[in-house]
Chains A and B, each alone.
Chain A
Amino acid sequence: MKVSKSPWMLHYDGSSCNGCDIEVLACTMPRYDVERFGVINTGNPKHADILLITGGINAQNKPVVEQIYSQMPQPKVVVAVGICACNGGVFKDCYNILGGVDTVLPVDIYVPGCAAKPEAIIDGVIQAVALLDEKRKSVREDKKEAGQ
């Protein structure tokens, strides 16, 4: 697969149990090492192309997630990591969980698992990289059309 750019990712812990978070961090560690695909874990939303969210959405983190997403430059890809981020998962019936990440953001890639294994997360990130290329192309075309 051809990857044209080195995308940077931003990880935010929605309301996960930590399990997926430490697996996301493990992806950037020597054994799994997503940096070989050019992926760097950044803390600044304005530097990020890929948003990795673990855990479901609750009333208090909803504005935070929306605010992080709105700060990221176009094009951007959202990856929901773990079953809680996909649809609420184990905590679906809890009173403070509104649901998965797709209740507030358009999610592009779902990575299931409890906790999601690093291999699965890397697969999700690689798919995100490919999707980012496609989105970049369409953004460019939109600009061209607008210019004509």
Chain B
Amino acid sequence: MSTRSIVPFGPQHPVLPEPIHLDLVLEDEKVVEAVPSIGFVHRGLEQLVEKRDFQTYVYVAERICGICSFMHGMSYCEAVEKIMNIEIPARAKYLRTIWCEMSRIHSHLLWLGLLADAFGFESLFMQSWRIRETILDMFEESTGGRVIFSVNKIGGQRRDMENSMLRGFLPKLEQVEAELEAITGAFLSDRAVNTRLRDVGILTKEQAHDLGAVGPFMRASGIEFDMRLQGYDAYKDLYFRPVTSTECDSYARCKVRIGEIFQSINLIRQAIDKIPEGEIAAPVKGLPNGEAFVRVEQPRGEALYYVCGDGKKFLERFRVRTPTFANLPGLLQTLKGCQLADVPILILTIDPCISCTER
């Protein structure tokens, strides 16, 4: 009979860019239970809606998380637009779609790098982040910022992208695609990498469904579902199918995310091809009165936004359900029965974003 011991993991840990604490209950090297405790990054920014008026609050919403900053700002705007019945111009919808997909590429490349770091493949980590810099350059060129963009406003966008700039993106995307293809083999075919990822952290299709997993974590368990299919923004005009995999392990999660980068590149190409001319913002009149739900597909999965206004300048309530929060039960399930040495990889495979989760 082996004795049980508890190993604290985090909040400061070499593999964690963000603080989360787990109490790992071990039987020798095997994890039998993981108990998370969170709250290290809690700022309480939802309450700021009482202190910033609804148009100013966009910049706070954007800072829920620095990785999907564009999508947070955008989804907040969409929720307010829904309450106020504002139809944003078609060009603004396409601009949002292009920036969303660029965010997804940079987020997934960032994740690939962190995963490589977790299994000790330093040069692959460097390569992923080097490719990511091209996308950040595109962001800097089009918005002026590398991680925080401030291009969303209620009713549309603050900035337009000139058509010449959009055409200039095409060769850069081609370059990213070629460079990513070059490192895909290292992630998916390398024998050493395979031994770290294959059959590690199995989450079956039924478990993923029952535990309410979202995003690539869910799709890697074989559930074909993507919030973009509901056709918000320009997605209804673009063709894509969710990337799924049936292996249900860490390898599948890596494969799905790599597939999604290629998919996003393809979506940006389609959007650049179809983007209409015209205005980029609709006028905003009156104050929000009512409530609205908005669901969007972020790089980490489905995020849900709730906004409630009562006809005043300041909103009544703002609430976000982030993808990492939805994926935590799935993570705890995969941690049960794994080896202690696999814990960093398993935590990374849900692509945790703690600052989203705790806000």
Contact = CB atoms under 8 A, between A and B. Distances in A.
Q: Decide if A and B are genuine partners.
A: yes
Contact of B42 (A25, A96, A114): A96
Interface string A6-19: 00000111111111
A17 B63 contact: yes
B256 to A, nearest CB: 22
A60 interface: yes
B146 interface: yes
Interface residues of A, number: 39
B64 interface: yes
B60 A90 contact: yes
A4 to B, nearest CB: 27
Interface stretch (A26-34, A73-81, A124-132, A133-141): A26-34
Given A43-B14, A117-B146, A22 B126 contact: no
B164 to A, nearest CB: 25
A112 interface: no
B355 A17 contact: yes
A56 interface: yes
A19 B133 CA distance: 14
Contacts of B110: 22
Q: Is chain A's interface secondary structure helix, strand, loop, or mixed overall?
A: loop
Contacts of A93: 48, 51
A122 interface: no
A22 B99 CA distance: 18
Contacts of B211: none
Nearest to B140: A117
Interface size class of B (residues with CB under 8 A): 35 or more
A27 B148 CA distance: 17
B353 interface: yes
B185 interface: no
Interface string B42-68: 111101100100000001100111110
Contact of B39 (A25, A60, A95): A60
B146 A23 contact: yes
A109 interface: no
Contact of A18 (B59, B60, B65, B133): B65
A4 B201 CA distance: 46
Nearest to B110: A22
B17 interface: yes
A90 B59 contact: yes
Interface in A35-90: 42-45, 55-56, 58, 60-61, 64, 68, 90
B40 A17 contact: no
Contacts of A31: 130, 133
Given A18-B18, A115-B148, A96 B43 contact: yes
A107 interface: no
A52 B14 CA distance: 14
A29 B59 CA distance: 28
A94 interface: yes
A67 to B, nearest CB: 8
* Of B48, B67, B146, B147, most A-chain CB atoms within 10 Å: B147
A9 to B, nearest CB: 13
A114 to B, nearest CB: 6
A91 B46 CA distance: 11
Given A25-B17, A31-B133, A94-B45, 17 more contacts: A11-B17, A13-B19, A13-B41, A18-B353, A19-B63, A19-B67, A21-B17, A21-B18, A26-B133, A29-B126, A29-B129, A30-B130, A45-B12, A64-B11, A64-B40, A91-B48, A94-B43
Interface of B: 11-15, 17-19, 39-45, 47-48, 51, 59-60, 63-67, 69, 110, 126, 129-130, 133, 136, 145-148, 353, 355
Per CB-CB distance, the 10 closest pairs between chain A and chain B, nearest first, are: A43-B14, A19-B66, A18-B66, A96-B44, A29-B129, A19-B147, A94-B44, A17-B63, A95-B44, A17-B66
28 contacts: A12-B19, A15-B355, A16-B66, A18-B18, A18-B355, A19-B69, A19-B147, A20-B66, A22-B66, A25-B129, A29-B129, A29-B130, A43-B15, A45-B12, A55-B41, A56-B43, A58-B40, A58-B42, A60-B40, A61-B11, A61-B19, A61-B40, A68-B12, A90-B60, A90-B63, A91-B48, A91-B63, A114-B63
